[in-house]
Amino acid sequence: MADEDLKERLTKVLPRLGGIGAIVAFDFGEDGKYVVDARGASAKMADADAEPACTIKATGATMIKLIEGSLDPMLAYTLGKLKISGSMGVAMKLASTLGG
Q: What is the pTM of this model?
A: 0.89
Q: In this predicted model, what pLDDT tens digit does every residue of 12-38 receive, in sequence order?
A: 999 989 889 999 999 999 888 999 999
Task: Give buried/exposed letters for 55-87 (b at 16+ CB in 10 A, else e).
Answer: bbbbbbebbbbbbeeebebeebbeeebbebebb
The domain spans of the chain are: 3-93
Domain boundaries 3-93, corresponding CATH code:
3.30.1050.10
Q: What are phi and psi of 85, to 5 degrees?
A: -130, 145
Say yes or no to pLDDT of 2 above 70.
no
Q: In this predicted model, what pLDDT tens digit does every residue of 63-97 receive, in sequence order?
A: 999 988 899 999 999 999 999 999 999 999 998 88
